[in-house]
Amino acid sequence: MIKYIASPAQQYALEAALEMNQPLLITGEPGTGKTEMADWALDYLNKKTGNAYWPEVLRFNTKTISKATDLFYTYDALSHFQAANLRGGQTASVEQFIALNAFGKAVAYSDPARTEFAEKFKLALPPKPMNSVVLIDEVDKAPRDFTNDLLDEILNYRFAIREIPDFMAQKAPDSRIVVILTSNSEKNLPDAFLRRCAFFHIEFPKGKLLRDIVELHLGAITPETKQGYDRLLAFFERAREKSVRKAPATAELVAWLRILGLKGYLTNTNTDERRRLLEQNLMFLVKTRDDLEAVSELLKNAEV
């Protein structure tokens, strides 16, 4: 089960990106569900199409040293060199040292009739063409040239392998590759790339949506626990306002509520004991010393 609640606006953004055949760029605070949206999108699309999509999100976790080619394949040059030496200088087949990565697999899964994907790269192919969801996570971590170098490949769903002359792979015409990118907005992405993307910003959930997310992860709020949840959610909102470096997000909220539930806060009738539990477990809510000091000060006068 996918524990994710997508707003109608998120669903529309995904559908519109598909209709326009554009990558979907997702921004939002850390912990608001940008990465998890790809899992929801895959589940949503498979329910809609009768499981026409590869059953797992094909993930690429961007690093500060990532190159555009890393999205498609990895070439282990060192192992290739060592293998050649072990063979007395005889050339080893380069295909043995190439592994397809997220986007490369998506292209291969779209066209299993092209058996060279299995023959060259030892990739297990599906029995029929499959669509895919490709997640490029935290794309803003990469060097600036990373996104510019992906423009042709992502828009046309094709890539070359420079170590294999004349090799070009392209998505089968009737298949879909849905590309979702996430960004923490730590640095600006190139305008040329942004122009070719659909864009959606996940606002921090409030009110009923926030309670729905809590219930999805922790179970229904009962009459016995409602008062405790009301106090905690009110404190959480004030903690977000008081935080000076990193406001706690939904991921921290769920972890904090879970530990307090396990420690009996929600049904505890002793105010002093509840305050002690909050003080002991602030480590799950705030993650920097500055924020801990600010929220601890807030706790002194808070209704707990």
Residues 244 and 220 in one domain: yes
Q: Which of helix, strand or coil describes residue 290?
A: helix
Residues 147 and 127 in one domain: yes
Q: Give the whole-angstrom CA distance, residue 189 versus residue 126.
A: 35
Residue 3 in domain: no
Distance of CA 287 to the CA centre of its chain: 21
Summarised one tens digit per residue, pLDDT across range 24-55 is 999 998 888 999 999 999 999 999 999 999 99
Residue 251, classified by CB atoms within 10 Å of its CB into exposed (0-12), middle (13-18) or buried (19+), is middle
Residues 43 and 147 in one domain: yes
Quote the pLDDT of residue 73: 96
Residues 240 and 176 in one domain: no
Residue 279 in domain: yes
Element of type H or E holding 266? none
Count CB-CB contacts under 10 A for residue 2.
Answer: 13
Residues 171 and 35 in one domain: yes
Quote the pLDDT of residue 301: 87
Quote the pLDDT of residue 54: 98
Residues 188 and 62 in one domain: yes
Query: What is the domain range of residue 174?
Result: 8-73+101-202
Q: Give the whole-angstrom CA distance, residue 164 versus residue 115.
A: 16
* Tokens encoding 104: 């490369």
Quote the pLDDT of residue 90: 63
171, 202, 233 - which closes a domain = 202
Reference 208, options 188, 239, 229; nearest CA is 229
Q: How big is the chain, counted in residues?
A: 304
Alpha helices in the chain (DSSP H): 8-20, 34-49, 77-86, 102-110, 116-121, 145-148, 151-156, 191-194, 207-218, 223-242, 250-262, 271-280, 289-300
Residue 87 in domain: no
Quote the pLDDT of residue 87: 63
Q: Give the whole-angstrom CA distance, residue 39 versus residue 2.
A: 7
Residue 2 in domain: no
Fill in the DSSP letter of residue 269.
-
Count CB-CB contacts under 10 A for residue 207.
Answer: 9
179, 202, 225 - which closes a domain = 202
Residues 195 and 216 in one domain: no
Residue 270, classified by CB atoms within 10 Å of its CB into exposed (0-12), middle (13-18) or buried (19+), is exposed
Q: How many domains does the chain have?
A: 2
Domain containing 198 — which CATH number? 3.40.50.300
Q: Which residues of the chain have pLDDT under 50?
A: none
* DSSP per-residue string spanning 123-168: PPPPSS--BEEEEEETGGGS-THHHHTTHHHHHHTEEE-TTSTT-E
186, 202, 218 - which closes a domain = 202
Residues 23 and 127 in one domain: yes
Residue 286 in domain: yes
